[in-house]
Amino acid sequence: MRWTPGGLSSDVEDRRGQSGGGFGGGGLGIVGFLILLVISLVTGRNYIGAYFSGGGGSHVQQSAPRQPSPEEDRSAQLASFVLGDAQDTWTRILAQEGIRYPRAKLVLFTDYTSSGCGAAQSATGPFYCPADQKVYLDLGFWNELRRFGASGEFAQAYVIAHEIGHHVQNVLGIERKVRGLQQQNPGARNALSVAMELQADCFAGVWAHSTTDRKVTDQADIKNGLQAAAAVGDDRLQRMSRGYVTPDSFTHGSSEQRMSWFNRGYTTGQVNACNTFSGGQ
């Protein structure tokens, strides 16, 4: 990718190095304790100690200052660049349809923080919260992405562009409509979730199309993006974690689907090419 490292934009909230605020106020309880214990064992991070040292998670407490590595600093600056570029692109695209694009925020955090959708934990990976219109990202996720077989700066860019795709869905009213349909028909919940995720992949591809036009990216970058889409396919993740695949439980789509829809957005550059709800997945 062709970009110039710099500071973090005003659309970025940097909460790295903070602790607390991720599990709500009040007593933890035995169920909550067991949940934190499992998360701690799986991730290797001491969420139990962090909970109690943060006063039960009822507030955000600044931990001892830490100096981020040059690699982490560069990753944060890349995230800020991609966020700004993607949002500028969607501002232009939606303006052509007479739609105002409200800019989302990107929250960088370490281990866990609070969000409008509840606790934001590194173990859950990056996500978009429609309640506060913010994307939550622990930069440690890039290590997991590499473990899944996706590396390179554009692999990281794809993840951020995908989450901004969810913001676009929120702006267009798609997110609210789908959540309503899921409530009306719980049996279709997973299928609708897959359609939502694949559309966000397609929207990421629409942004990628614009970056190629502007010489920000080249074909090697797009290949990295496709590898990232494949790396986080439900079938691949299920096979890695338990050795078998159950398609009925998919919530994000298979590797092939995710690559296909990202590529569709990339090759067409058109929002109307991203109708993942028509049954042609």
For 244, the token pair is 């078998």
Name residue 113's beta-bridge partners.
120
Residues 6+ apart with CB under 8 A from 219: none
Helix (H, G, I), strand (E, B) or coil at 137: strand
Q: What are phi and psi of 10, to 5 degrees?
A: -70, -10
pLDDT for position 56: 43
Give the residue from 270, 241, 245 showing the smallest Cα distance to 257: 245
Residues 6+ apart with CB under 8 A from 171: 94, 99, 101, 102
Strand 12-14, strand 105-108: pairing: parallel
Nearest-angstrom CA–CA distance, 263 and 169: 19
Residue 165 region by backbone torsions, left for phi larger than 0, else alpha for psi between -120 and 50, else beta: alpha
pLDDT for position 65: 53
Cα torsion for 169, 197, 91, 114, to the nearest 10°? 80
Residue in this structure with the two tokens 């609070």, named with its chain if needed = 114
pTM of the model: 0.81
Nearest-angstrom CA–CA distance, 226 and 235: 15
pLDDT for position 157: 94
**Residue 267: count of CB within 10 angstroms of its CB:** 13
pLDDT for position 150: 82
**Residue 79: count of CB within 10 angstroms of its CB:** 24
Helix (H, G, I), strand (E, B) or coil at 274: coil
Give the residue from 154, 102, 111, 160 showing the smallest Cα distance to 133: 102
Nearest-angstrom CA–CA distance, 228 and 266: 14
Nearest-angstrom CA–CA distance, 228 and 59: 35
Alpha helices in the chain (DSSP H): 29-43, 47-53, 70-95, 141-147, 153-172, 174-184, 189-213, 219-231, 234-242, 255-268
pLDDT for position 35: 56
262 neighbors 205 (Cβ within 8 angstroms): yes
Each domain of the chain, given as residue ranges in start order, spans 12-17+66-273, 21-61
Nearest-angstrom CA–CA distance, 253 and 133: 23
Running along the chain, 281 residues long, what does each successive block of 10 average in pLDDT?
90 83 41 52 51 42 60 93 97 97 96 92 91 95 86 92 97 96 93 95 97 92 88 83 83 91 96 87 52
For 237, the token pair is 């993740």
